Structure 1
């Protein structure tokens, strides 16, 4: 009989382990079902945010197109720049607002230098005044924007290559000799 008890006891232990495994499997199935619901909700939220972003991009593009049309209409009243240039020749009464914002900021830095009683400044100092790093690439970018301003009379370029605030009339192309 001891042999029969031992077999029954082993079968009982296996049945207990099987029951525990069944309970664990059912618990995991419930957890997987819950995670599937959470995943579905997250996917829906992701889709909604993607659609919102796409709608915003389309709205901004439409707004930019309208703004471009308005600015083109406004440009008809602004003097036309020198061909191939965004910097028109300076003349008395021409506002700084005809220049691109980068050019306006450059002139602003030079005006600040002049009001601080500083003389001509190097392109490196202008770059620093614009809040740029004084790396060779940034300095050269500032220099390349300052030269057209000097060539068209918006600022003065010294023989040393330094720049200072000041205006001088420049003859426009095909306008004949300036007096």
Structure 2
């Protein structure tokens, strides 16, 4: 039969280990809290300062929605990925139509299925919004003028 002191020592050891684990977790939580406090203070300071530099806004950013093309709109209003696709479609190589695999190569991407399908999706979105046309299945070219 185990001794009472032995049982108490084992229990004490187990509780000490739990306390050490909780102290480590508390230290991590306190560090995370301090980072959040510092971030809030920094943002508050930045927002309180008068802005003396006015950044020139860009019409689109990566991941933004492709706008429907209207009269006078240039490709520069598109997100950078879409703008690059339109530039390839408008190039000499794109005049007769470009397959998505060729488009991937022209953009400097690997012609692997994941990249090609991503480009196909973007090209179809450009067609839907009046920036390009699909001359036959899987072959795209740029539009000479805005549609509609």
TM-score, with structure 1 as normaliser: 0.46
**Aligned: 1:119 with 2:96:** yes
Number of equivalenced pairs: 97
- Alpha-carbon distance, 1:161 to partner: 2.6
CA distance in 2, matches of 1:87, 1:123: 19
Query: Structure 1: 5+ residue runs without aligned partners?
Result: 1-57, 80-84, 171-179
- Higher-Rg structure is 1
**Greater length-normalized contact order (CA 8 Å, ≥ 6 residues apart):** 2
Match of 2:74 in 1: 95
Match of 2:117 in 1: 140
Q: Tell me which protein shows more helix as a share of its residues.
A: 1
What is the root-mean-square deviation in Å for CA atoms of aligned residues? 3.3
TM-score, with structure 2 as normaliser: 0.54
Query: Structure 2: 5+ residue runs without aligned partners?
Result: 1-38
- Alpha-carbon distance, 1:121 to partner: 1.3
8 Å contact from structure 2 (residues 94, 142) kept in 1: no
8 Å contact from structure 1 (residues 153, 169) kept in 2: yes
Q: Tell me which protein shows more strand as a share of its residues.
A: 2
CA distance in 2, matches of 1:130, 1:117: 12
